[in-house]
Amino acid sequence: MRRILNTALWASLAASATAATVDDCPGYTLSNLVQSQSSWTADLSLSGDACNVYGEDINDLKLLVEYQTDSRLHVKIYDAQEQVYQIPKSTLSPPTGQDGSSTSNSSDLVFSYTENPFSFAVQRRSNQETLFNSSGSNLIFESQYVRLRTSLPLDPFLYGLGEDSDSFVRETNNYTRTLWNIGIGMLPAHSNLYGSHPIYIEMRNGTAHGVFLFNSNGMDIKINQTEEDGQYLEYNTIGGVLDFYFLAGPSPADVSRQYAGVVGTPAQQSYWTYGFHQCKYGYQDVMMVADVVYNYSQAQIPLETMWTDIDYMDLRRTWTLDPQRFPLHKMQELVSYLHDHQQHYIVMVDPPVSLNDSDSYNKALSSDSFLRNSNGSIFVGTMWPGAVSYIDWYHPNAEAFWTGEIASFFDAKDGLDVDGIWIDMNDPQNFCDYPCQNPVQSAIDNDIPPAPPAVRTTWPPLPGFPADLQPPASDASENVVTPRSPYPRSISATSANVTGNMTGLAGRNLNTPPYALNNSIGPLYTGSIWPDLVGYGGYVSYDTHNIFASGMIAHTREGLLKRRPNERPFIITRSTFAGDGRKTGHWTGDNGSEWAQYLISIWQNMEFASIFQIPTVGADVCGFNLNTTEHLCARWAMLGAWYPFYRNHAGDTSNFQEFYRWPLVTEAAQKAIRTRFALIDYFYTAFTQQTVDGSPTTIIPLFYEYPNDVATYNISYQFFFGPSVLVSPVTVENSTSVELYLPEDIFYDYWTGQQVNGTGSTITLDNITYTDIPVHIRGGSVLPRRLNTDAVNTTTQLRDQDFEFVIAPDADGKATGNLFLDDGLSLDSESSTLSVSFDNGHLAVTGSFAYSVDVKVVSATVLGQGNGTSSYGESYSLNRTLNAAWSTDLYGH
Ligand SMILES: *[C@@H]1O[C@H](CO)[C@@H](O)[C@H](O)[C@H]1NC(C)=O
Ligand SMILES: *[C@@H]1O[C@H](CO)[C@@H](O)[C@H](O)[C@H]1NC(C)=O
Ligand SMILES: *[C@@H]1O[C@H](CO)[C@@H](O)[C@H](O)[C@H]1NC(C)=O
Ligand SMILES: *[C@@H]1O[C@H](CO)[C@@H](O)[C@H](O)[C@H]1NC(C)=O
Ligand SMILES: *[C@@H]1O[C@H](CO)[C@@H](O)[C@H](O)[C@H]1NC(C)=O
Ligand SMILES: *[C@@H]1O[C@H](CO)[C@@H](O)[C@H](O)[C@H]1NC(C)=O
Ligand SMILES: *[C@@H]1O[C@H](CO)[C@@H](O)[C@H](O)[C@H]1NC(C)=O
Ligand SMILES: *[C@@H]1O[C@H](CO)[C@@H](O)[C@H](O)[C@H]1NC(C)=O
Ligand SMILES: *[C@@H]1O[C@H](CO)[C@@H](O)[C@H](O)[C@H]1NC(C)=O
């Protein structure tokens, strides 16, 4: 039949002939394959006319396939000219090459390809299952857009690809996950958030594998199912190369260890960091901070670490103290008081340098390490203190500048002797809207910085504090920062030629790229620094945006190490990228005092700890934005005690929410913190394992422990705290009952010691009061538990307490556990690793004993004995050392 086209249709066809779509892209053809036992290389060339949809198609690509280990396959597709941006090695340097023994015949992952159009697949050798297959659509590799799609089984169980607040298991239909770091409050759903982690783990019938795309560019990851294409996951990046690491598992924990093999294992933390932390934005002076410390001690809630938000700064300039509200000598008294009481102090540090702080500004200027506009002038935006410039963390002089500021401001003698650093706003944020012609005026117009609170004229006396921690009567001029010229001299641009060294293609539209990323707050420059800013060596923010924080983290760690060379640096950051767990911990940002946000925190912790290898993680307990309530805060105090990082923090417009403000919350917090104290060594032992080999050991999803139980794949609100303790928080607001899933296994109620046989079904627990949280010990475990936690206020005192072993036998009457002991602080501490095993009454301790302790194991309690209802198992007295192997019969067997 002859088709007659009307004129309107002709017109639309004519228009589409000029505007190509991704469907017109020709794909690539593979040639010149060179194969060895363990690696392959090949050329990929554009298979037809360029489509040039989002920038220009790159004609010549290279393919590299490396069988790195039998469970790790590296597949990289990059431009033959090596001009396209690749992540600088100084940030993260995943392994290249092979381990020597792995070959295409031995690996559990098998690479295969189709020549034209080029596509590739990865199969699992043991069961022939296809894990990844890009044949569903053509590879597109353009100057500002790279697309690769893999088909997947329908409704797959996918996890990872954060940071987000959408769900734990990923949605599978019509879903977009955008990775482009932004500073946004309240953790909105279906939005990009502070960090980028392009790793996913997929569960298929008990078997796990992982896929890591080593690419820091902005990207939309689309997960969708359509009639024509079935189920797929599609990477749409606005730059960079396709650098994949396929991880074979087969268990979820194996995938996590294999991922640690690519991005590194997490940093070990000091023992004290597991104590309870308190902060609020809006403590108006040092006296108020001291007051909170005092009130915690009066309320008998153990406070380990006090924090201060940006309030301490003089007009919110980093590296300054407010001379009237936070004068140096008062701050030093506060810190001395805390240290004398084995407590700690931490303050916030923001990345930008104020134009109105000539001291820091001139230092940064002479180090030449500011980010620059494309015309060579220094970029100026606005942040808390008003007009600011931003450090180029990848400039070779940036480290000396930053560590120098840390050294002088946090000098133990003449400065503020803090115990860690909290870094914020490093997504990075900029308050001045594009194009920000006049940042100085913009700050003035927007009342930035706001006038500080009035200086108190009378301060209440504070029992227990040194008498001289009193109002500054005559020292108001102390530390006054002299006004500075707001305008820096300009410096000519360094050359931004970018060829052949993977610093990024020239000639791109950086600020408004043709492929508009699904950034939830608008164009890429929204709320941040401009993508076209230029850094050392020609890197542009467009490419390095998502690793801005990584550079700040690295130099902050160096700075802390220079102050205390043998102490584990404690850093908590808002923004993160893959691999940053090697150096930092993370708090989940500016959440809100809402029930939904309490719930989100549960699986965000699992994701960061078990999948992203950032196990030092926690959410602001009781919520940051909005006003909390007594009941929400009580529930959150109980939940937060099972976060690796346990801190109560509120916003400046929120009411005070320290735990002691309500009797109910006081009681909840006392119980929560003392329970946490009892189990810190158990947790610290597990955490240490993760720092050694990446084993997810701290906040663990249920499917990691029961991969063959498909019912666990969807569980977002229960988790293991260490390998043996199952935590099942209350999930319904105002409810006092909990529906929780117990896998088919033996459990014991942590509080009563009663045995509960899991049957792979949901049970309901009632009468969970506001000072309760359901916790179960898994059969087969021995928990080393500190005694007398009622008698201690800090982790330092805790370390002097003896242990009991809580023994939770499995169905065969056996149990095992571990205990790691060291000085809890230094990088080169001696350590002991004890293995505890129990077999029907016989208890044995073996291991290595290089770190000697005075404390003992004074008892062992075997659960499941006694009459079950009234007694917490059967207790046996011991008086045994932790410095040597021993064994004993608790009862005949
Ligand atoms: C996909 O989701 C978007 C919003 O996220 C919605 O507007 C659209 O209607 C959805 N499309 C389909 C086919 O469900
Ligand atoms: C998913 O596919 C449907 C149908 O093709 C399409 O309308 C929708 O936009 C797609 N969603 C995403 C997020 O790509
Ligand atoms: C694997 O799981 C899928 C659902 O994810 C199911 O349809 C299929 O039957 C399972 N296969 C086996 C062998 O259990
Ligand atoms: C800069 O790039 C251009 C275009 O690729 C090249 O011809 C030129 O040699 C480069 N200049 C330097 C100094 O490397
Ligand atoms: C990349 O090459 C350009 C041109 O040769 C040079 O100016 C730039 O410093 C190099 N960048 C790096 C990071 O080596
Ligand atoms: C919290 O409540 C106080 C009154 O108790 C009110 O002044 C304040 O605006 C509230 N803050 C928020 C963020 O709602
Ligand atoms: C929980 O209780 C509070 C206080 O009574 C009430 O305001 C809130 O609406 C309740 N929430 C739900 C989900 O019932
Ligand atoms: C749990 O199972 C064990 C056998 O494994 C049995 O001896 C015990 O009675 C059961 N306990 C309960 C409370 O059902
Ligand atoms: C609930 O538990 C508390 C102690 O935790 C107890 O005092 C109270 O009697 C219990 N209430 C009910 C209805 O079981």
Candidates 278, 238, 284; CA nearest to 519 is: 238
CA distance 637 to 132: 42
If pLDDT is split at 50, 70 and 90, which confidence band does 474 have?
very low
Q: Residues 588, 563: contact at Cβ < 8 Å?
A: no
Residue 665 pLDDT greater than 80, yes or no:
yes
CA distance 27 to 48: 8
Distance 758 CA to ligand 8 centre (A): 10
Query: Is 282 a pocket residue for ligand 6 (Cβ < 6 Å)?
Result: no
CA distance 792 to 785: 14
Mean pLDDT to the nearest integer, 230-255: 98
The per-residue pLDDT for range 30-40, each reduced to its tens digit, is 999 999 989 99
pLDDT of residue 19: 78
Query: Is 811 a pocket residue for ligand 8 (Cβ < 6 Å)?
Result: yes
Report the sign of the C-alpha dihedral through residues 85, 89, 90, 92, in that order: positive
454: which residues sit within 8 A by CB, 6+ positions away?
none
The per-residue pLDDT for range 761-773, each reduced to its tens digit, is 999 999 999 999 9
The pLDDT > 70 percentage for the chain reads 92
Model-level pTM greater than 0.85? Answer: yes
Parallel, antiparallel, or unpaired for β 199-204 and 381-383?
unpaired
Element (H, E) at 816: strand 814-822
Give Cα 76 to chain centroid, integer Å. 26
If pLDDT is split at 50, 70 and 90, which confidence band does 102 have?
confident
Residue 677 pLDDT greater than 50, yes or no:
yes
- At 634 the three-state DSSP class reads helix
Mean pLDDT to the nearest integer, 827-835: 98
CA distance 17 to 19: 6
If pLDDT is split at 50, 70 and 90, which confidence band does 97 have?
confident
CA distance 685 to 301: 25
Residue 266 pLDDT greater than 60, yes or no:
yes
Distance 631 CA to ligand 7 centre (A): 10
The per-residue pLDDT for range 406-437, each reduced to its tens digit, is 999 999 999 999 999 999 999 999 999 999 99
pLDDT of residue 872: 85
Q: Residues 567, 596: contact at Cβ < 8 Å?
A: no
Phi, psi of 582 (to 5 degrees): -60, -25
Q: Which residue has the higher pLDDT, 131 or 10?
A: 131
CA distance 190 to 178: 9
Shortest-distance ligand to the CA of residue 538: 5
Contacts by 357-361 with C-beta closer than 8 Å and gap 24+?
357/317, 357/318, 357/319, 357/320, 357/385, 357/481, 357/484, 358/482, 358/484, 358/485, 359/319, 359/481, 360/317, 360/318, 360/319, 360/405, 361/389, 361/484, 361/488
CA distance 830 to 313: 39
Q: Residues 430, 580: contact at Cβ < 8 Å?
A: no
- At 253 the three-state DSSP class reads helix
- At 142 the three-state DSSP class reads strand
Mean predicted lDDT score pLDDT of the chain: 93
Query: Is 173 a pocket residue for ligand 2 (Cβ < 6 Å)?
Result: no
Rg of the chain, C-alpha, whole Å:
28
711: which residues sit within 8 A by CB, 6+ positions away?
741, 743, 760
Mean pLDDT to the nearest integer, 469-497: 38
CA distances from 426 to 112, 489, 642 (A): 41, 25, 27
Closest atom of ligand 2 to 224 CA is: 1
Element (H, E) at 878: strand 874-880
- At 679 the three-state DSSP class reads helix
Count helices and strands in the chain by DSSP H and E runs? 14, 44
Element (H, E) at 261: helix 252-263
Mean pLDDT to the nearest integer, 807-831: 98
Distance 373 CA to ligand 4 centre (A): 20
Mean pLDDT to the nearest integer, 621-643: 98
Phi, psi of 440 (to 5 degrees): -65, -45
Query: Is 653 a pocket residue for ligand 6 (Cβ < 6 Å)?
Result: yes
CA distance 67 to 118: 20
CA distances from 714 to 177, 701, 702, 853 (A): 19, 10, 9, 43
Q: Residues 325, 455: contact at Cβ < 8 Å?
A: yes
Q: Residues 43, 31: contact at Cβ < 8 Å?
A: yes
Residue 357 pLDDT greater than 60, yes or no:
yes
Phi, psi of 110 (to 5 degrees): -115, 125
DSSP state of 372: B
174: which residues sit within 8 A by CB, 6+ positions away?
224
Candidates 764, 765, 671, 780; CA nearest to 725 is: 780
Structure tokens at 512: 């408004």
CA distance 551 to 537: 15
- At 358 the three-state DSSP class reads helix
Candidates 60, 56, 50, 62; CA nearest to 25 is: 50
CA distance 793 to 293: 12
Q: Which residues pair with 55 in a beta bridge?
A: none
Closest atom of ligand 6 to 651 CA is: 13
Candidates 887, 859, 725, 846; CA nearest to 802 is: 859
Distance 302 CA to ligand 6 centre (A): 27
Mean pLDDT to the nearest integer, 851-856: 98
Residue 4 pLDDT greater than 90, yes or no:
no
Q: Residues 683, 623: contact at Cβ < 8 Å?
A: no
CA distances from 502 to 241, 334, 497 (A): 10, 49, 11
pLDDT of residue 496: 38
Name the residue with the closest Cα to ligand 7, atom 1.
734
Least confident of 247-261, 479-493, 594-608, 652-666: 479-493
Angle between helices 358-366 and 398-409 (to 10 degrees): 150
Report the sign of the C-alpha dihedral through residues 671, 677, 682, 687, in that order: positive
Distance 61 CA to ligand 7 centre (A): 59
Q: Which residue has the higher pLDDT, 5 or 708?
A: 708
Candidates 822, 798, 883; CA nearest to 568 is: 822
Cβ burial, residue 810 (10 Å; 0-12/13-18/19+): middle
Other C-beta atoms lying within 10 Å of the C-beta of residue 811: 10
Strand ordering across the sheet containing 381-383? 353-354, 386-389, 381-383
Domains along the chain with CATH numbers: 7-263 (2.60.40.1760)
Structure tokens at 416: 């503020």
Give Cα 287 to chain centroid, integer Å. 33
pLDDT of residue 456: 82
Residue whose tokens read 């329908």: 154
Distance 692 CA to ligand 8 centre (A): 37
Residue 298 pLDDT greater than 90, yes or no:
yes
What residues flank ligand 5, with Cβ below 6 Å?
A: 495, 497, 499, 501, 503, 537-538
Which of 23, 225, 226, 235 for mutating ligand 2's site (highest number of atoms within 8 Å of CB)? Answer: 226
CA distance 47 to 70: 33
- At 365 the three-state DSSP class reads helix
If pLDDT is split at 50, 70 and 90, which confidence band does 457 have?
confident
If pLDDT is split at 50, 70 and 90, which confidence band does 467 have?
low
CA distance 567 to 828: 9
pLDDT of residue 459: 66
Residue 262 pLDDT greater than 70, yes or no:
yes
Name the residue with the closest Cα to ligand 6, atom 4.
655
Distance 50 CA to ligand 2 centre (A): 25
353: which residues sit within 8 A by CB, 6+ positions away?
318, 360, 361, 364, 370, 388, 389, 390, 391
Query: Is 497 a pocket residue for ligand 4 (Cβ < 6 Å)?
Result: yes
CA distance 544 to 533: 10
If pLDDT is split at 50, 70 and 90, which confidence band does 18 have?
low
1: which residues sit within 8 A by CB, 6+ positions away?
none
Shortest-distance ligand to the CA of residue 742: 8
The per-residue pLDDT for range 53-79, each reduced to its tens digit, is 999 999 999 999 999 999 999 999 999
Distance 520 CA to ligand 2 centre (A): 18
DSSP string, 684-709: HHHHHHHHHH----SEE-HHHH-TT-
If pLDDT is split at 50, 70 and 90, which confidence band does 462 have?
low
CA distances from 8 to 11, 12, 17, 19, 21 (A): 5, 6, 14, 17, 20
CA distance 702 to 720: 7
CA distance 865 to 873: 5
Which of 627, 656, 661 for mutating ligand 6's site (highest number of atoms within 8 Å of CB)? Answer: 627
pLDDT of residue 476: 43
pLDDT of residue 493: 31
CA distance 643 to 609: 10
The per-residue pLDDT for range 184-226, each reduced to its tens digit, is 999 999 999 999 999 999 999 999 999 999 999 999 999 999 9
Phi, psi of 818 (to 5 degrees): -135, 160
